[in-house]
Amino acid sequence: MHTRGQCYEEYEETARWLLDHADQRPDVAIICGSGLGNLADLLSDKTVFPYKDIPHFPISTVPGHAGQLVFGKLQGRDCVCMQGRFHFYESSNISMVTFPVRIFFLLGVKTLIVTNAAGALNDSYNTGDIMTIKDHINLPGFAGVNSLCGQNDDRFGVRFPSMSDAYDSDLRALVKQAAEELGFESVLREGVYCMVAGPTYETVAECKILQLLGADAVGMSTVPEVVVASHCGLRVLGLSLITNKVVKDYDSGEKVNHDEVLRTTQRRTQDLQKLVSTLITRI
């Protein structure tokens, strides 16, 4: 595995390598969550780089994450798509998780669309719903594991960035508009996403606590990337595909598993593709 560089020069080296090898100059980046890598199929005129071939780039190890960076055009706009993201539980290195976001910033990206698979904490949510993220709860951050810990580099952003507006309200409004036009309004939600470190799914008691905290959905990703993207000044849109309902009853015989998550994403991929494709034309 490539080691994640900690200095600005290594970020620059990676960005320069990609600019030298790709014809596109993307202003939109898409991070694909578990089972959602087919979003990259939307791109035309593609140039594909396996993560292992990109200098300093980390490598995804989770099933459902292809592990390649795809440049191409979507609705005539240059985009870059991560087929497979990195998770904190893969290495306990939060900087590895966020490395690509700073690369996107150096490539000239202005807007980040981040997707994930999440479990429903909100009792009104159903499997297959799509939740636009309006806010997040960074549980690892409460424990001191924050993407911005360590020395700050002012070339990326300020020392103490605000997170109260991390999820762009105009982009969220565009999602609602697009969903109505596509006939998805009945499955569209807007809520609070809570990140847990993983890789274990939550206990019954943990789910009850997260619900009390005000979280509508829970997952093991997204927040570190959003924190760094906001730090860099990128506009962020977060979309959670609700792949299961969390277990909140000790008498329940149900168990959450990754195969169930992937099956749900397969059923909803086309709808997400249509939604993202419509959004790209309006950003």
195 as an active site residue: the answer is no
Would residue 21 show up in a list of annotated catalytic residues for this protein? no
Is 221 among the residues known to form the active site? Answer: yes
Instruction: Give the integer Cα–Cα distance in Å for 83 and 66.
Output: 5
Q: How far is Cα 248 from Cα 2, in angstroms, rounded to an integer? A: 40
Examine the residue annotation and report whether 131 is marked as an active-site residue of this protein.
no
Q: Which of 2, 258, 260, 277 is catalytic?
A: 258
**Structural Rg of the chain based on CA atoms:** 18
Is 190 catalytic? The answer is no
Cα dihedral across residues 47, 51, 54, 58: positive or negative: positive
Catalytic residue among 15, 29, 82, 117: 117
Dist CA 159 CA 174 (whole Å): 31
d(CA 106, CA 185): 36
Locus of tokens 């014809």: 23
Sequence letter at residue 16: R
Query: Is 2 a catalytic site residue?
Result: no
Identify the active-site residue in 13, 89, 206, 260.
89
Residues 6+ apart with CB under 8 A from 156: 102, 105, 228, 231, 232
231 is catalytic: no
Active-site pick, 65, 138, 179, 231: 65
- Asked if omega into 199 is within 30° of 0 (cis), the reply is yes
220 noted as active-site residue:
yes
Considering 90, 147, 167, 240, which one is annotated as catalytic? 90
Residue 3 phi/psi, 5-degree rounding, is -85, 140
Beta carbons of 108 and 26 less than 8 angstroms apart: yes
Mark whether 118 is an active-site residue: no
Active-site choice (60, 122, 221, 240): 221
Nearest to 54 by CA among 28, 90, 80, 89: 80
The yes-or-no answer on residue 34 being catalytic is yes
Enumerate the active-site residues: 34, 65, 87, 89-90, 117, 220-221, 244, 258
